[in-house]
A and B are shown apart, each in its own frame.
Chain A
């Protein structure tokens, strides 16, 4: 499903970072571990089609995602890649449900309220559907962000430190939900983290140096 080859990112003329090659198949979970500053977020952005690597290729379904125009990239990302960030960002002026509708709209799909209901209830936050993001707790926000990442049935789900702001209970819950939802959607799940709690949960790991 997802495969990388010789990825390298140049921060400046003489500072660059290279990433090991790895791959992740549909329904599988890959944890990429690394301490702060080793370029985890940069890698995730490269994988998510947000940052074109200086060198190397990202293949999804055997296709180089950075080949083609920027607007095609935007459309592709919206439709096929779901991203969960460390800090759950929302459009503050929209309710949880409206944020999800926005994701559907931007992903090029049509409004599918049933899908949203279903996701929110499977993540146990359907009672927050009409609440605004500022009224949600950290755990609820992260769950809403997961719902948003999944709303377009993506092929790839990328999670950047999804648990760092959560306590142990919430951490376990969120990770389980992520994995379970990714499996149900038959999506490849890649979690980038320095949270050691996750190393015990997932077998498939690589570590950035």
Chain B
């Protein structure tokens, strides 16, 4: 019958007290750890998704909303901007800008956003292909790993997007089916939950929706001016000598291809002659061949910008200048996210205070229950002395009881926090498509263990000292 076993037996001898102590202590530990986890994982997500972006340019509105929408994809766009007005920032020759990534947001599939952009977004998030290829033609998409996992989309699959960012079948764009041509590797960043396509695809889908867009003529308005497109077309025609292209009007062909996408795209693909013709006709729509600057009237949602040198004075002043002098809005992600932390921080701090208060109360509860148990057990303690136990053994016995309580409570609390996280992760991923890992263990939990042990020790030290001071003679004489 070792001291440890005796301490354990003493603890479980009073199950109701044990329950109260554990529930209180575990609540404290659990809440603290839960807050740690949420904070850490949110911060990790936010940091991962910063992706070296120094500035976001979009339509006027709430800068935080613009950042949340375009970098974290958890809020709605502030509006669209005309390419013509944002021209300098899309110009690769801009002296301060290293990289600018255009984004067109507005449609989604099963809650996952379809983002019209260019290949530079992949460099931004260090994304690589897992299977297939990058989108290159209109209506071709490359999907993030989470999209692939959750929607079950595979290379070659087709789907209709729905208008807006919520999953709503009534708002489907039924005439333009997207086709998955590639799947990205998991990056742990927001790109995992995006459906990437060319900016042009987004425009095309939307222009189809407008009633006038049903005629080939209006569709042409999306295309570059004919004089620019003609040389391309001519050279392409040369490449495919022997085919009967002269009968085709390029633009008409393109349009009919789109219209047919939903219905008999596969037949279209497999017809030997048509297949070649199709590719050929769209050659100028290849992502590589599109320069957004050629479409000054079209709109995009935002531009993500990386500076060449982020400490450059002019670069630092750029957001202010844009906000003051243009119809556009510029915001720095770091500043906006810090603002968000500050706002959320009030709630987190309140919860944290509550957690520490609960922990303090639980320490008090352990103290009180140990202290009152001494009264009940004074003969037992004297008896242990009679049996040869030294005062320090009694001290150790009470400390052990406090510490065992702390360890059990710690374990229950940690389990509680992970289960809570697991439940929340499910809800979060439904609401925001953000995935949290509820079973991610952290070094902080070790610190919490140390904290719990200290708390258990502190709560039991006064009772332990009292036990140490047990006067055998006086105790046993009072019968």
Contact = CB atoms under 8 A, between A and B. Distances in A.
B472 A91 contact: no
A92 B13 contact: yes
Interface string A91-129: 111100010011111111001000000000000000000
A197 interface: no
A92 B383 CA distance: 11
A141 interface: no
Contacts of A74: 385, 388-391
Interface in A46-90: 48, 50-51, 70-71, 74-75, 77-79, 83, 85-87, 89-90
A93 B477 contact: no
A93 B479 contact: no
Of A41, A90, A91, most buried by chain B (CB within 10 Å of CB) is A91
Contacts of A92: 13, 377, 380
Mostly, the B contact residues are helix
A183 interface: no
Contacts of B13: 92-93
A42 B387 contact: no
Contact of B388 (A70, A86, A101, A106): A106
Contacts of B2: 105
Contact of A78 (B12, B387, B472, B479): B387
B357 interface: no
A117 to B, nearest CB: 16
Contacts of B477: 41-42, 45
B386 interface: yes
Nearest to A78: B388
A92 to B, nearest CB: 7
B270 interface: no
B344 interface: no
B388 A107 contact: yes
A102 B476 contact: no
B388 A91 contact: no
A77 B388 contact: yes
A101 B472 contact: no
Contacts of B383: 89-91
Given A45-B477, A50-B473, A101-B1, A93 B384 contact: no
A56 B12 CA distance: 45
Contacts of B19: none
Nearest to A44: B476
Of B2, B383, B390, B393, most buried by chain A (CB within 10 Å of CB) is B383
B6 interface: yes
Contact of A98 (B1, B387, B392): B1
Contacts of B388: 74-75, 77-79, 106-108
A45 B387 contact: no
A106 B389 contact: yes
B9 interface: yes
Given A51-B473, A98-B9, A86 B387 contact: no
A77 B12 CA distance: 29
Contacts of A71: 390, 392
A94 B1 contact: yes
Interface of A: 41-42, 45, 48, 50-51, 70-71, 74-75, 77-79, 83, 85-87, 89-94, 98, 101-108, 111, 148
Given A50-B476, A51-B473, A78-B389, 5 more contacts: A42-B473, A48-B386, A50-B473, A90-B380, A90-B383
- For the complex of A and B, the 7 pairs showing the least CB-CB separation, nearest first, are A78-B388, A93-B13, A106-B387, A101-B1, A102-B1, A51-B473, A93-B9
